[in-house]
């Protein structure tokens, strides 16, 4: 008998194998977006902090807003934080802020009142 195609049992076995592989692979990739958001936030906050210090070194006072850093060409444009979740001290947390800000004494940049050191994949001990 000349048989073409797959038997029903073979198709069922393929679906089961693909299902097993998916259950192993999917959890490994669920935190990828959260890790990427965390890395972007850390990078943005570090860049803004560097611009703040350069502004201070050249002007003798701190900038009052991030827009002032852009206007004075210390930043090319105002960074926009990602949406979704980021790791804060090792815990995935929803990002509620839509823009970066300066802390009260204008010496550091923040997102949701957190500095770059608080956005971390590892929990602080």
pLDDT by residue (tens digit) across 57-70?
Answer: 999 999 999 999 99
Residue 108 is assigned to a structural domain of this protein: yes
The domain of 47 spans 34-118
Give me the number of domains the chain comprises: 1
Residue 13 is assigned to a structural domain of this protein: no
Predicted structure pTM score: 0.78
pLDDT 10s digits, 87-122: 999 899 999 999 999 999 999 999 999 999 999 887
Residue 10 is assigned to a structural domain of this protein: no
Residue 2 is assigned to a structural domain of this protein: no
How many Cβ atoms from other residues are within 10 Å of residue 101's Cβ?
A: 15
Distance of CA 108 to the CA centre of its chain: 18
> CB–CB of 42/119 below 8 Å?
yes
> CB–CB of 123/88 below 8 Å?
no
Q: Report which DSSP code applies to 111.
A: B
**CA–CA distance, 55 with 61 (Å, rounded to integer):** 7
């Amino acid at each position: 008998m000349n048989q073409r195609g797959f038997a029903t049992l073979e198709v069922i076995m393929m679906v089961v194998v693909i299902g097993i592989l998916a259950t192993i692979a999917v959890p490994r990739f669920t935190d990828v977006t959260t890790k990427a958001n965390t890395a972007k936030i850390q990078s943005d906050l570090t860049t803004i902090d560097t611009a703040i210090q350069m502004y201070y070194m050249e002007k003798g006072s701190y900038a009052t807003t991030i827009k002032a850093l852009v206007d004075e060409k210390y930043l090319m444009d105002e960074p926009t934080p990602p949406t979704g979740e980021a790791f804060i001290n090792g815990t995935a947390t929803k990002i509620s802020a839509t823009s970066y800000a300066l802390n009260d004494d204008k010496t550091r940049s923040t997102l949701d009142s957190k500095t770059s050191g608080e956005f971390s994949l590892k929990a602080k001990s």
